[in-house]
Homo-oligomer: A and B are copies of this chain.
């Protein structure tokens, strides 16, 4: 998502599919420099690359839809029904070119500066590993997951359902680090994290830097993570160190995190000030619009997807409540006319994790529209429709997320 916000433009802008126009938007450094900054040349859909980029070559190609060299989503049929998403099937959304892959050769040497605390200090990952440790399961989801369903042609990667996964993160609770450094400075209201990507010359850093602010309430659950799914955090996913804010949209989980500051105000970096802001279609992003922080309640069906045989069918899917635990998931096989409560499958990994669900349904021959609708313990439930918005963020409408299955 991060790159799209740096390239914010109106939905009818003809430059959307035009590389030279696109690069001009980045500033005066010229087209070739911009292409190099982004690490790839924007491609028309027909030119979609067939192979994985080098930095993600270890991924399971068949599980992914490769939108571009830095946007890959998990195929709906590859999401599975597990409580954890296998790392090699997890979506990828990179923004700036990553630091050299060699930073993960010696992860313990990576440094993060802690500021806005009573005793500011630079700590290595090696230091952090002795300060505390926790393991938290949390859904990682791009703010634009579901964007493909918006009819107004919201700009950005056309994610369907697969820009999401449930991940086991291991690292030090941010709270432990902050307490060891004397606590936040008085009057601070945000935690501002900065990514360690090298910024290109000739561009205003504020327009390109990955720097995100989240409210200090996130300190209770955030962690500085060095492991993902019981493996050292890969370069692909932000290693050696990533800010993880359980239940918050992906962009807030800053990769290669090199600076964490308690601040009075949100950063004025473009990715925060005007990017990731929910506003009406046609409106530009601005700091007074809602920011993409806590995720909303959401679910989708993962099986069956296309066809099936009449009789008993097991309908599978995944559901999560963002920062609020789930209450239930209902499933309809008639497009939402009638509903039955599904059963959760497998252990509950906590409030920020997703829960696979299953419902046994008897399906007659013919076409069925299968939809799911999750409800959290606070009574929030998925709406039927979209909340239309310029960039196609936060779509959790149950109707668009359904599948049409031919039963024979």
Interface-centre pick from A136, A312, A347, A360 (highest chain B CB count, 10 A):
A347
A83 at the interface (CB under 8 A from B): yes
CA distance A348 to B350 in the complex (A): 9
Closest residue of chain B to A169 (Cβ to Cβ) is B346
Q: Are A82 and B358 in contact (CB under 8 A)?
A: no
Set B130, B137, B347, B353: member contacting A312, Cβ < 8 A: B130
Q: Are A135 and B230 in contact (CB under 8 A)?
A: no
Chain B nearest CB, measured from A341 CB (Å): 16
CA distance A239 to B144 in the complex (A): 38
CA distance A134 to B314 in the complex (A): 12
Contact with B along A308-350 (1 / 0, CB 8 A): 0001111000000000000000000000000000000111111
| With contact pairs A81-B170, A83-B168, A168-B83 given, residues A133 and B230 touching in the complex (Cβ less than 8 Å) | no
A86 at the interface (CB under 8 A from B): yes
CA distance A231 to B229 in the complex (A): 15
Q: Are A311 and B229 in contact (CB under 8 A)?
A: no
CA distance A137 to B135 in the complex (A): 17
Set B134, B229, B313: member contacting A130, Cβ < 8 A: B313
Q: Are B347 and A81 in contact (CB under 8 A)?
A: no
CA distance A360 to B130 in the complex (A): 8
Closest residue of chain B to A87 (Cβ to Cβ) is B86
Chain B nearest CB, measured from A75 CB (Å): 14
Contact with B along A95-133 (1 / 0, CB 8 A): 000000000000000000000000000000000011011
- Residues in A65-86 with C-beta less than 8 Å from chain B: 80-84, 86
Q: 7 A-B Cβ contacts within 8 A?
A: A82-B168, A83-B135, A86-B230, A133-B345, A135-B356, A136-B346, A137-B347
